[in-house]
Amino acid sequence: MSRFDRRHFLQLGAAGTALIPFGRNAFAASAPGNKRLVVVLLRGAVDGLNVVVPHAEAAYYEARPTIAIPQPARDGGALDLDGHFGLHPAMAALMPHWRDGTLAFVPASGSPDATRSHFDAQDYMESGTPGQKSTADGWMNRLLTALPVKRTSTTALSFGPTLPRIFAGPSDVATVPLGRAAASPIPLDRPIINAAFDQLYTGEDALSRAYREGLESHKKVMKDLQADMMAADNGAPSPDTFGQDAAHLARLIKQDPSVNLAFFALGGWDTHVNQGGSDGQLAGRLKPLAEGLAGLATGLGKDYQDTAILVMSEFGRTVHENGNRGTDHGHGNVMWVMGGSVAGGKIHGRWPGLESAALYENRDLAVTTDFRSVIASVLAGHMKLTPGQVAGILPGAPTGDIVLVRA
Amino acid sequence: MSDTALARHLADRLGFGPRPGDLDHIAKTGPDRWIDQQLHPASLALPKEVAAHLAQLRTLRMSPEETFLEYGPPALREAKSPEQRKDIQERARIVPAEAIEARILRAVYSPAQLEESLVDFWFNHFNVFAAKGLDRVWIGAYERDAIRPHVLGRFRDLLGATAKHPAMLFYLDNWQNTAPNAPGARGNFKGLNENYARELMELHTLGVDGGYSQDDVITLARILTGWGLGGDGSRAPQAAAKARPFGKRVAVDRRFPPAEQKAQGRRGGTFVFAENRHDFSDKTLLGHRIAGRGEAEGEQALDLLARHPATAKRISYKLAQYFVADEPPQAVVDAGAATFAKTDGDIAAVLRTLFARPEFRDPSGFNTRFKTPLRYVVSSLRASGATVRNFRPAFGLLQQLGQPLYGCITPDGYKCTEAAWLNPDGMTRRVTYALALAAGRLPLSESPADQPAGPRAGARRNPDGGALRARGNEPPVNVETLIATLGGISEKTRAVVTTAQPELRAALVLGSPDFMRG
C-alpha cells in the first residue's frame, strides 16, 4: 500500500465514508483533520507595492521614480496578472500557480492597527489581536489547540531555532532546525545516554516537556528526512536555505500525515535604502522566496491539494520612495494564498487606489481587507473550522467579507 | 539561606555563573561588598594571559576610520581585480570574528562579571547587526567605544555615544537622513529617513507606549538630519551607499574620480554633522520647543529623551527583567525607575537599588531564570574550569541556538526571557553540547590560528556548527569538582548522577534542569 493510500485509508476510517476522492476539488470535502496550513511571515515589512504592482496606475510610477517595476511589456517589466496588477519579475516561479488557479492575492490588506513599529505590528499579526498587547498566546497555537486531530509531536512545526510568538501557547510545537542539521544524528540517539538524561526530565514542568518533545520530534524528523536527503542531493547543501527548508517541509508532510501546521519566518525586507527595482536588493530576496514556495508546492505533489500556504508581512511600505531610493514604514500591504483549494488566479478584496485622496494618512496604501479576514477565510474554507472555532482563534475578526477558498 | 546559596545566586545573576573557587570568594568577601566591587570594577583586572590574548586581536585596537580604510570601500576601490576585492571582503571577516572572540573570553574570564553582563544587556538594548554592510568593519569598535565605557555610567552618555557612532548611524540609516530642501540634498541624500528616529524613541528610550506620535517621529528625524558619516559632506562614501543592508557584499562604485573617492574615503568612519543637509527650522518635540540651530538640537532631543519619565520606567523594567525575573515585580521596577529619575540616569545606582530589593534576595527566586544561549554556554565554560583559547565551539552553539553574537538582525536585540529561548530543539542541542564539553571533546584549548574557516558574522544558519563536532582532546570534566564549583546540585539531579555511568556524570550535571537555569 503506498503512503498515499494508507493515509486515505486512515481518513476513511475516521470519516466513515467509502468515497474515493479524485480531481482537484474532491479533497475539499475530506475530513478536516487532514488539512494543512503553512504560514510564511516576512519579518521587516515587505514592499507589497513592488510585489503585486499596480502597473495600470500613473500614481504608482509618479511616486516611485527610481524603484518602480516597469509595465509588463517593458524591459524588466512586471508579469501581468489581470491587466491592472502585475507580479514582480523576480517571482516568475509563481506564475504557473497563478495560471492554474491555485494562487490568489489580496492587495490593500493589513492591520486595523495604525502602528508603524515592526515589533508591535508583528506582535499583533502573530497574536491575531491587533491593538491588544495582553494576548499571551499566538493564533497558530490557538489553531493547533482547536484542530480536530489527535496531536502528535509533529502536528505543528516551527522552522528555526526559537519558537515564534505566533506559536506561543499551551499546545506543544516542534522546532525543526534549519538546513541540513535537521537530519543529523545526535548523541542522545544512543540508548544509554538517552536513558540517563530521560531521568532528569520526567516532570510536567516546561523544561521536561520541551526536552521530551525535542527528542521525539528529532527522532521523527531524522527518520523521515535522512534516507531521502542522502539520495536526493548527495550531500550538497542547497544554495538557498529557504528553498532547502521548504523542501524539507514537503518531505516531512509526505512522510508524516500528522503534520498539520508549519511556520517559517524570513527576514531582510526592511528596505529603507537602495531597495532596487526589477533587480537589486528586494528582487534578490523575492526570487528565492518565490522559488522556495514553488518548490514547496511541487514537492508536496498530491498533498498540495490539501495544503494552503499563506504569506504575510506586518505592514506595507510608503507609496512614495524616500530620499535614499528606499521606502519607509507604511500601512496596507499584500497577502497571498496558494494551495489546491484556493480560489486562485484572482485578485481579491477592494483596491483603494494610489491617488492622494485615497491614501492612509496621506502617505500609505489604505487597508481595505483586515489581515484577520484573510486568515479567517482560510481557517473556515480550507481548514473547515466552524464559525465559533474561527472566532476563538481570531476574536473580533471580520468574517465573510472575502472568500479565498473554493466552496 | 546559606551563604553558598546566595553566593551562587549572585554569581548566576550578576555574572555568568561561578568558576572554581568563586563561591568561596564571594562568601568570604561578603555579598554586599562583592556587589559593591562589581559596581565599581576598575580594580578588577583580567588574568594576565587573557589580557595578553586579547592584546593580540589587532582589529580591536583599530579606530573605525582605520578598519574602514583597511577593509572598507577605500581598500576595495584600490583592488586590482575581482579576486583581490573578494580577498579583502574575506579578510574583513576578521573584525566581527575578533569581536566575538574578545566578548566570549572576557565573559568567561573577567572578574568584572557584572560589567560583562551589562555589555550583553546594553549591546542588545542598542543593537547593531554586524552583517549589515559596513557595520561589519565597525562592530568591534562600536562595542569598545560606544557601549563598554558607559555600561555602569550615565544613561545619557550611553545614548549619546551610540547615537554618534558610525555603526549605529549606518545600521539605522540616519547617515542618509536629509532635509528634503537643504542645499546638500541630492543623490542618495534627498530626503528624510525616519528609521533611527523611530527606534530611538521606541526601543532606546521611551518605549512604544511612551507617549509619542508619528508627528514626533518625523520631528525627531528632522532634528537629526545631517547627523552623518565622515567622508560624506553632502555626498557620503558612495560605496557605502551601495552596501547591501542585509547582504554580504560591499559593492564598489566607480562614478567618482579616484582622487575624490580617496579624499572622501579617508574620513570615513567618523561622525560628522553635515550642516548642508540639516533642517534648520524650529521644531516641537513631545511638546517641547526646539529652536532650529543645528547639531545642538539633536543633543537637546537626546537630553529630553534620556530624562523622560517613560525612559526611566522602561530602562528600569528592562534591567529588572534581565537581573530579577522575566516578569519583574512592579515594586522593583518602580524603585529602579525612581532611582533612575533621582540620579539623572546613573546606571550603577539603579542596579544598586535592584540588588538591594528583598525580591531579588528571596531564595524562592534563586535558580529560576532560564538561561539565554549566551548565559548557558558561558556559564558551562566557567563552571567546567576549561582552558578556553578557542572561542569557536561556544560560538557554534550560539549559532545553533539562534543567538550568534552580533547577529541579531532587528534593532530590538536578543530577548532574555524563557519564552524567547526555551524550545524543544534548543534543549536537545544544549544536552548534545553538554555531552561534548564534559567528555573533553570540544577543542577549547587549541589556538584559534589552527582552526579552519572563521565564523561568518551574523550568520544565523550554520546548522552543523562544525566546531561542535567531537574532535577535541581535552581532559574530561571532573564531576566532583564541578558540583563543588556550583555549590551543590538538586536532590533529583544528584540521584540521577550518582547512579549513572561515571563518564556521563559531568554531562548530566551540565545538561540538568538545574544548570539550564540560573
> How would residue A32 be classed by pLDDT, with cut points 50, 70 and 90?
low
Residue B349 and residue B342: Cα distance in Å, rounded? Answer: 10
Distance from CA of B61 to the nearest CA of A (A): 31
The dihedral built from the CA positions of residue B93, B96, B101 and B104, taken in this order, carries a sign that is: negative
Of residues A109, A83, A124, A96, the one with CA closest to residue A336: A109
Q: What is the pLDDT of residue A240?
A: 64
Residue A195 and residue B491: Cα distance in Å, rounded? Answer: 18
Of residues B439, B435, B433, B514, the one with CA closest to residue B477: B439
* ipTM value: 0.88
Assign B227 to helix, strand or coil: strand
Nearest to A322 among B192, B425, B464 (CB): B192
Longest CA span, chain A: 70
Q: What is the pLDDT of residue A222?
A: 82
| Run of H or E residues at A364 | none
Instruction: Give A-chain residues touching B496 at CB under 8 angstroms.
Output: 196, 199-200
Low-confidence stretches of chain B (pLDDT beneath 50) = 232-265, 451-469
Nearest to A120 among B208, B246, B501 (CB): B208
Q: Which is it for strands A36-42 and A79-80: parallel, antiparallel or unpaired? A: unpaired
Of residues A73, A71, A99, A97, the one with CA closest to residue A85: A71
A23, pLDDT greater than 80:
no
Exposed, middle or buried: residue B83 (CB in 10 Å: 0-12, 13-18, 19+)?
exposed
Q: Are B273 and B294 in contact (CB under 8 A)?
A: yes
| Run of H or E residues at A322 | none
Distance from CA of A225 to the nearest CA of B (A): 15
Residue B125 and residue B479: Cα distance in Å, rounded? Answer: 37
Average pLDDT of A144-158?
92
Cell of B376: 548557558
Bridge partners of A261, per DSSP, are A37, A156
Give the residue on A whose Cα is nearest the Cα of B494: A200
The dihedral built from the CA positions of residue A364, A369, A372 and A375, taken in this order, carries a sign that is: negative
Cell of A348: 481579491
Residue B225 and residue B178: Cα distance in Å, rounded? Answer: 5
Contact A210 B424 (CB under 8 A): yes
Cell of B218: 518625523
| pLDDT tens, residue by residue, A250-282 | 989 988 889 999 999 998 899 998 999 999 999
The dihedral built from the CA positions of residue A102, A107, A109 and A110, taken in this order, carries a sign that is: positive
Instruction: Give A-chain residues touching B426 at CB under 8 angstroms.
Output: 161-162, 175, 210, 214
| Run of H or E residues at A305 | none
Contact B464 A322 (CB under 8 A): no
Neighbours of A354 (CB within 10 A): 22
**Domains of chain A: which residue ranges?**
35-183+234-393
Residue A180 and residue A241: Cα distance in Å, rounded? Answer: 9
Nearest to B425 among A212, A214, A325 (CB): A214
Nearest to A200 among B185, B247, B493 (CB): B493
Name the E strands within A210-303.
261-266
Nearest to A178 among B192, B419, B463 (CB): B463
Distance from CA of B351 to the nearest CA of A (A): 27
Q: Which residues fall within 8 angstroms of residue A369, CB to CB, at 6 or more apart?
A: A106, A108, A109, A110, A348, A349, A350, A401, A402
Counting residues of chain A whose pLDDT is more than 90, the rounded percentage is: 68
Q: What is the pLDDT of residue A372?
A: 98
> How would residue A14 be classed by pLDDT, with cut points 50, 70 and 90?
very low
Q: What is the pLDDT of residue B460?
A: 32
| pLDDT tens, residue by residue, A372-392 | 999 999 999 999 999 999 999
Residue A242 and residue B375: Cα distance in Å, rounded? Answer: 29
Residue A198 and residue B45: Cα distance in Å, rounded? Answer: 42
| Run of H or E residues at A40 | strand A36-42
A109, pLDDT greater than 90:
yes
Write b or e for each residue in B321-341: b if 16 or more Cβ atoms lie within 10 A of its Cβ, otherwise e: bbbbbeebbeebbebbbebbb
Q: What is the pLDDT of residue A225?
A: 74
Instruction: Give B-chain residues touching A41 at CB under 8 angstroms.
Output: none
Give alpha helix (H) positions in B282-423.
295-306, 309-323, 330-342, 347-356, 358-361, 373-383, 392-400, 418-421
Look-up of cell digits 539605522: B172
Assign A123 to helix, strand or coil: helix
Write b or e for each residue in A6-27: b if 16 or more Cβ atoms lie within 10 A of its Cβ, otherwise e: ebbeebbeeeeeeeebeeeeeb
Q: Are A335 and A310 in contact (CB under 8 A)?
A: yes
Q: Three-class SS string for B436-476?
A: HHHCCCCCCCCCHHHCCCCCCCCCCCCCCCHHHCCCCCCCC
Q: What is the pLDDT of residue B81?
A: 86
Cell of B461: 544558519
Q: What is the pLDDT of residue B494?
A: 97
Q: What is the pLDDT of residue A48?
A: 98
The dihedral built from the CA positions of residue A210, A213, A216 and A218, taken in this order, carries a sign that is: negative
Q: Are B131 and B407 in contact (CB under 8 A)?
A: yes
| pLDDT tens, residue by residue, A121-150 | 998 999 999 988 778 899 999 999 999 898
Cell of A233: 542531493
- What does chain B come to in residues? 518
Q: Which residues fall within 8 angstroms of residue A395, CB to CB, at 6 or more apart?
A: A128, A129
Give the residue on A whose Cα is nearest the Cα of B430: A211
Look-up of cell digits 516542534: A174
Contact B501 A192 (CB under 8 A): yes
Residue B460 and residue A160: Cα distance in Å, rounded? Answer: 9
Residue B219 and residue A138: Cα distance in Å, rounded? Answer: 35
> How would residue A315 be classed by pLDDT, with cut points 50, 70 and 90?
very high
Q: What is the pLDDT of residue A233?
A: 47
| pLDDT tens, residue by residue, B360-382 | 999 999 999 999 999 999 999 99
Q: What CATH number does the domain located at A35-183+234-393 have?
A: 3.40.720
Q: Are B235 and B253 in contact (CB under 8 A)?
A: no
Residue B377 and residue B371: Cα distance in Å, rounded? Answer: 9
Residue A37 and residue A364: Cα distance in Å, rounded? Answer: 30
Of residues A132, A134, A123, the one with CA closest to residue A41: A123
Residue B147 and residue B149: Cα distance in Å, rounded? Answer: 6
Interior angle at CA B321, CA B33 and CA A204, nearest 5: 110
Interior angle at CA B469, CA B374 and CA B130, nearest 5: 40
Q: What is the pLDDT of residue B239?
A: 37
**One-letter identity of residue B67:** T
Residue B243 and residue B253: Cα distance in Å, rounded? Answer: 10
Q: What is the pLDDT of residue B86?
A: 87
Look-up of cell digits 532596487: A276
Distance from CA of B201 to the nearest CA of A (A): 11
Q: What is the pLDDT of residue B457?
A: 34
Contact A267 B198 (CB under 8 A): no
Neighbours of A49 (CB within 10 A): 30
Nearest to B513 among A117, A200, A326 (CB): A200
Contact A172 B188 (CB under 8 A): no
Q: What is the pLDDT of residue B471?
A: 65
Of residues A146, A164, A110, the one with CA closest to residue A391: A146
Cell of B236: 557620503
Classify A248 in phi/psi space as left (phi over 0), alpha (psi -120 to 50) or beta.
alpha
Of residues B265, B292, B126, the one with CA closest to residue B203: B126
A183, pLDDT greater than 70:
yes
Of residues B400, B357, B352, the one with CA closest to residue B376: B400
The dihedral built from the CA positions of residue A221, A227, A231 and A236, taken in this order, carries a sign that is: positive
How many Cα neighbours within 13 Å face the side chain of A200? Answer: 31
Neighbours of A44 (CB within 10 A): 23
Longest CA span, chain B: 78
